[in-house]
Amino acid sequence: MVDIIVTGHGRFSEGLLSALQLIVGEQRNVQNVNFLETDSVENLSFHLEKALEKTGKEVIFLTDLLGGSPFKESVMLKKQYPDKNIEVISGTNFPLLLSAVMQSSEDALELAQTIVTEGQAAMVRYRPASKRQRGFKKISSRNSKRIRKRRRNLMKIQKFENILDLTDEVVALVEKIVENRADSVLCFACGETPRPVMNRLVEMKKSGEIDFSRVRIIGLDEWIGVGRDTVGSCQQMLYDDFFIPLNLREDQIMLFDGLTEDLDKEIEKMNHVIEDLGIDFILLGIGMNGHIGLNEPGCEVDVKAHLIDLSEMTQTVMKKYFAEQAETSLTQGLSLGFQQILSAEHIVLMATGERKAEIVEKVVQHEPTNEIPATLLKNSTKETLFFVDAEAGRLIT
């Protein structure tokens, strides 16, 4: 575990620690040192060193102002304690601190690089919303662009001999996440690809191997014009395949309503839920044209939940889900945007079956582009896994 010392002018550090405790509770590896108007630099240095003496080998100082006394004294301590791996960060904000305590890294340098990126990415300016979209535009400094470039293409690709082995790997990850955080927020795509994962999790719940009593689940997308009673809708599949067998309560479920008369309100509601809760894990499937959720080729990258016009390919493929409604004509959908998808702490993209082989090859070979939305997952700074079975991965080595 990396120990963290927050320090800054006035009660800056005390305020951050108070906010942190409100959100995640007391953190034993986090200390704070104030630098009040009545304090001398010597007094500040003394208290910082006392805090440092309580830490292990891996330490990060989070300071407020580059070149200020808290920053300078932290740097001096870094030089005085070469036996410790100490990193010093300035410009600390609350998302950066929150990210620091939520990461599992045990290396100060690795953690520092990650949380600086997170802190910068959390800075947004309000952008006037279009008719159907809500979102914020990120402020991208030259430095943050360089960091993102170094971290690009961290998506790990793994090929499995069969669907069973692939499913076991995904289920093991979900089990670990729920075990570590009982009230985890999970997001599942619906359809054929993730169904084996859902079936296995239902089996585990029934046998007492996993506890879903506090888990919250968010929907990824939904077609406009269908609801829970429509066979083939995302709501219908998720409830029948997953929620009902798991015996989830309604207060654990947040899905898009494809029958709503107020799309703007529906989008805003989902955005607020994710802003408040975040996403711990998201399981995705990949469309034949590379779409993720209902984010089609040419989609906007920096948006939250939004309304989407469906491509001709998606409209053709989706007919298999609505066999009982042969006359159903669906042209639009609601989906989480890539800003939210990429914010998930753990991302798993699944592809199974020979018919997905060509799009899998394209995703592996191409740099991130919104023309192949699945490639945008390579821009994630979080754990991102691309699991394919032997048939879907037959064109890649």
Domain at 78, CATH number: 3.40.50.510
Confidence of residue 265 (pLDDT cuts 50, 70, 90): very high
Count of domains for the chain:
2
Give the residue from 219, 124, 158 showing the smallest Cα distance to 383: 158
Residues 42 and 145 grouped into a single domain: no
Q: Is 203 a catalytic residue?
A: no
Q: Is residue 93 part of a domain?
A: yes
Contact 283, 194 (CB under 8 A): yes
Query: Exactly one of 64, 87, 221, 241 is catalytic; which is it?
Result: 221
Q: Is 118 a catalytic residue?
A: no
Tokens of 251: 């207060």
What is the tens place of the pLDDT at every residue in 267-287?
Answer: 999 999 999 999 999 999 999
Residues 142 and 115 grouped into a single domain: no
Choose the final residue of a domain: 96, 122, 148. Answer: 122
Choose the final residue of a domain: 91, 122, 153. Answer: 122
Q: Is 275 a catalytic residue?
A: no
Does 15 or 327 have the greater pLDDT score? Answer: 15
Residue 90 has pLDDT above 50, yes or no: yes
What is the tens place of the pLDDT at every residue in 124-157?
Answer: 766 554 433 333 333 333 333 333 333 445 689 9
Which domain, by its residues, includes 377? 136-389
Residues 318 and 341 grouped into a single domain: yes
What does the buried/exposed string (b/e) look like for 87-102 if buried means 16 or more CB atoms within 10 Å of the residue's CB? bbbbebbeebbbbbbb
Cα 333 to Cα 310: distance, rounded to the nearest angstrom: 7
Across the chain, what does the average pLDDT equal?
88
> Across the chain, where does the E strand assignment appear?
3-9, 30-35, 58-63, 85-89, 124-126, 136-138, 156-160, 185-188, 216-219, 221-223, 253-254, 281-285, 306-309, 332-335, 346-351, 383-389
Confidence of residue 58 (pLDDT cuts 50, 70, 90): very high
Contact 390, 160 (CB under 8 A): yes
Residues 348 and 227 grouped into a single domain: yes
Query: Exactly one of 3, 118, 280, 296 is catalytic; which is it?
Result: 296
Residues 209 and 307 grouped into a single domain: yes
Cα 233 to Cα 219: distance, rounded to the nearest angstrom: 12
Q: Is residue 127 part of a domain?
A: no
Query: Exactly one of 32, 34, 289, 379 is catalytic; which is it?
Result: 289
Residues 349 and 282 grouped into a single domain: yes
Residue 96 has pLDDT above 90, yes or no: yes
Q: Is 83 a catalytic residue?
A: no
Q: Is residue 396 part of a domain?
A: no
Task: State phi, psi for 330 to the nearest 5 degrees.
Answer: -110, 125
Contact 99, 115 (CB under 8 A): yes
Average of pLDDT values for 183-204? 95
What is the tens place of the pLDDT at every residue in 307-323?
Answer: 998 887 777 766 556 65
Cα 112 to Cα 187: distance, rounded to the nearest angstrom: 28
Query: Exactly one of 118, 271, 280, 291 is catalytic; which is it?
Result: 291
Helix (H, G, I), strand (E, B) or coil at 349: strand
